[in-house]
Structure 1
Amino acid sequence: MSEGNWPASSEEDGTQDTVWKNAQPSELMDSKLRVVFEHPLATEYGGDKTPPRVSSESKSTNGGYAANMDAEIRRVIEEKNRVEAAKISLERDNNNLKARLAALEAIPQVTGNQTIEGGITVIQVMLISFAALMFGLIFGKLF
């Protein structure tokens, strides 16, 4: 049967039913009609993040393949948990560093070009005090 032979009008819906009823099982491709959901929605099993467990009956029918899949699933879940823990740790460290940076930015820094309360820079104050010290030493020795 080709798709071009399908009736297009609603009058011939009865013939479609007879086609499906009278079709030989070997002619039908039921493999395309089967749908397998590998990851069901979280609402189907109560919103829990863990996937539902495979029953022991299916393990015995599949043998080693199911055991390998279970081991692979466990390994992936452990890796996911380890990555999530590392992510949480990095986020905590990042927040701590941001808090320290904000605290350091809030502290006023005094550099050589900044002025103190009187309007004189720190370098000028140091030069004036050095000149006064030298002046005092010179006049102290002479008189």
Structure 2
Amino acid sequence: MLICLGPLPTLVISSANVVREVLQLQDHALANQPALAIPRWLLYGCTDIAFAPHGAYWRGVFKIAMPHLLSPTRVRAYRSMREEVAELVRKVEQQSQEGGGVVWSSELLSGFAKDVNGRIVLGVRASGRAGWHAKVGTLLD
């Protein structure tokens, strides 16, 4: 199915066989992202993993970086961040049910940032202690 999301035509694939075809056999056709000006300026000409064009350079950087990013030790270290993301998803679901589909994303993302920073810096959730959430908010503001 082809739909337009604003000015961009978007292909929606709903068949498992077609998804397999696209992701396994035709992935090279969809691997490159458009060349954006801001990543080109900020990321040294798009030489990072996220914005590098698919090819020999990208494969080399991927082979170097992935063992460091997805090693068992590193994945275990991300556990607290996964818990924070799960809590954010739970709050979005709760707000959408209570508010008739309306979600105040700025408040949720602000609280998420505070909780993540509290976990990184002190190892505790910012919203888990009385008064701590407001103090972190003051510091971040």
Tell me if TM exceeds 0.5: no
Q: Which has the higher strand share?
A: 2
- State the TM-score, normalized to the length of structure 2: 0.21
Higher RCO, Cα 8 Å, sep 6+:
2
Give the TM-score of the pair, scaled to structure 1: 0.21
